Amino acid sequence: MHRSGTSAYARMIGRMVGYEPRDPEIRRTNRLGQWEDIRLRRANDKILALAGCEWSAPSDSLPHALAAAAGDEAGRTALSRRLRGLGSEPWVWKDPRNCLTLPLWLGLDASPASFTVTVRHPLEVARSLHARNGFPLLYGVALWERYNRSMIDAVDGREALFISFGSLMSDAAKTLARTREWLERSGYPIHDPDPSDHVVRDLRHAAEDDDPDALTKLGLSPAQVRLYQRLLDRDGETGRVDGRRLLDEAETPLTSALLDTRRQVLEAHHAISPTVGVRLARRTRRWAGRLGEQVASARREHGLETPRRRPGPVDSRQTGPRETGPDPQP
C-alpha cells in the first residue's frame, strides 16, 4: 500500500542482497528515493488505465480486466521483457500498485518468486495521503482497505513475509534479522547482513492507537479494524498466506462508494476540455458534495465520530493543486 514504508523496507532488502535500482527518483516527499523502477511503474499505470481506473481510484471490475489482459499473448511478452529489464537476479521490485495488478504479473514467466508485505496503521496511511494528496481521511482508509484486500487475494496460498512499519521504525535490527533469516532460507546470497544504519527513524511522525475501540470511534468500519488486526498479528511471520482467514468478511460498502465517486470525478475531469474549466469546477464540487453526504450518512448510520485532525504548520507551497501522480513513499 502507498505510504506504508515500502520504500524504506525495499531499500533495506536491496542492501542485503546487493541490488540497487537504476533510478531511485528522489522527490521532496521522499528524499532517499522511491526504490521503484520507473518503466515498470508506468506499465502498472497503463494496466490500470486500460481497466478504466488509476492508483487513487481502483475499479471494482479491475480483477476481470486483469483476467482479460492475461489472454493477450503480445502484452504478456512485453511485460515479461520489462521484468527482465530489472537485471540479473536477485532483484527487488517495489511498487504499491502491485497490490492491484499483481495477478497479471504472476502469470508471466519472469514473475517474482518471493513476497514481502509491509503493514502500516490505516490512519497513518490516511494522514500521509491527506498531507500529500489532500484526500479525506476516510477516503485514505478506503484505499488502504482496497489495496490490502487485493494484495491478499493476489498472494493467497503463496509464501510471504509480513513486516509492520511500526516494527521497522521501533526495532529495525530485529526486523532486519527476521528479513535476513527469511532471505537465507529462500536461497538468496546476503551481501550486507545489517543495513540498519540506513534506516531513517524520523519517517514515522506520529503513531496511532491500535486499540480496536479507538479505531472504530475514529471512523473505521468493523471490517477494516479486523483486517488491520489480522495483518498486524502476522508481523514478523513467514508462511503461506491464508486468504480465507484474512478475508473472512466482505469489504466495507462505503469503500466501494467512495472509490467510485472519485473515479467519476476523474472521468469528468478528463472528459471536459480546459476551455470549460468553470463547468468542470461546478461538476467537481457536486461530486465532492455527494462524497461528503455519503461519508456523513455512513457516520450517522454507524454512530461514528469524526476523525481527529492534527494541527500542523501551513505550507504556502501547498496552496496549488495536490500531487496525484507517482507515489513517493515515506
Please report the pLDDT score of residue 123 as a whole number.
Answer: 94
Task: Report the distance separating Cα 94 and Cα 18, nearest Å.
Answer: 15
Please report the pLDDT score of residue 323 as a whole number.
Answer: 43
Whole domain around residue 292: which residue ranges?
6-308
Query: Could you tell me if residue 79 is inside a domain?
Result: yes
Please report the pLDDT score of residue 325 as a whole number.
Answer: 46
Average pLDDT over residues 226-236: 96
List the strands of the sheet with 115-119, edge to edge: 115-119, 159-164, 238-240
| 161: helix, strand or coil | strand
Query: Could you tell me if residue 166 is inside a domain?
Result: yes
Q: What angle do CA 3, 313, 201 make, to 5 degrees?
A: 40
Candidates 32, 285, 290, 279; CA nearest to 139 is 290
Please report the pLDDT score of residue 291 as a whole number.
Answer: 65
pLDDT band at 37 (very low <50, low <70, confident <90, very high): confident
Lowest average pLDDT, out of 165-169, 262-266, 315-319, goes to: 315-319
Burial (CB count <10 Å: 0-12, 13-18, 19+), residue 179? buried
pLDDT band at 32 (very low <50, low <70, confident <90, very high): low
Look over the chain and give the mean of its residue pLDDT values, rounded to a whole number. 81
Of 86-100, 145-159, 302-316, the range with the highest mean pLDDT is: 145-159
Please report the pLDDT score of residue 295 as a whole number.
Answer: 66
pLDDT higher than 50, residue 330: no
Query: Could you tell me if residue 325 is inside a domain?
Result: no
* Contact of 104 with 75, CB cutoff 8 Å: no
Q: What angle do CA 26, 32, 33 make, to 5 degrees?
A: 45
Query: Could you tell me if residue 1 is inside a domain?
Result: no
Query: Could you tell me if residue 326 is inside a domain?
Result: no
* Contact of 39 with 54, CB cutoff 8 Å: no
pLDDT band at 30 (very low <50, low <70, confident <90, very high): low
Which letter, b or e, does each residue of 22-61 get, where b requires 16 or more Cβ atoms within 10 Å of its Cβ?
A: eebbebeebebbbbbbeebbebbbebbeebebbbbbbbee
Please report the pLDDT score of residue 326 as a whole number.
Answer: 45
Please report the pLDDT score of residue 140 as a whole number.
Answer: 96
H or E element at residue 149? helix 137-155
How many domains are contained in the chain? 1
pLDDT higher than 50, residue 318: no
Query: Could you tell me if residue 317 is inside a domain?
Result: no
Query: Could you tell me if residue 21 is inside a domain?
Result: yes
State the residue for C-alpha cell 535500482.
21
Residue with more model confidence, 245 or 205: 245
pLDDT higher than 70, residue 53: yes
pLDDT band at 195 (very low <50, low <70, confident <90, very high): confident
pLDDT band at 196 (very low <50, low <70, confident <90, very high): confident
Task: Count CA atoms within 13 Å of residue 12 on its CB side.
Answer: 28
Q: What is the pLDDT of residues 100-142, one digit of tens each?
A: 999 999 988 766 778 999 999 999 999 999 998 999 999 999 9
pLDDT higher than 70, residue 12: yes
Q: What are phi and psi of 164, to 5 degrees?
A: -90, 145
Q: Residue 273 is placed in which grid cell?
A: 476540455
pLDDT higher than 70, residue 220: yes
Please report the pLDDT score of residue 199 as a whole number.
Answer: 67
* Contact of 100 with 57, CB cutoff 8 Å: no
Query: Could you tell me if residue 276 is inside a domain?
Result: yes
pLDDT band at 304 (very low <50, low <70, confident <90, very high): low
Lowest average pLDDT, out of 15-29, 164-178, 179-193, goes to: 15-29
Q: What is the pLDDT of residues 54-100, one digit of tens each?
A: 999 999 999 999 999 888 888 888 888 888 877 777 888 899 999 99
Per DSSP, what are the bridge partners of residue 164? Answer: 119
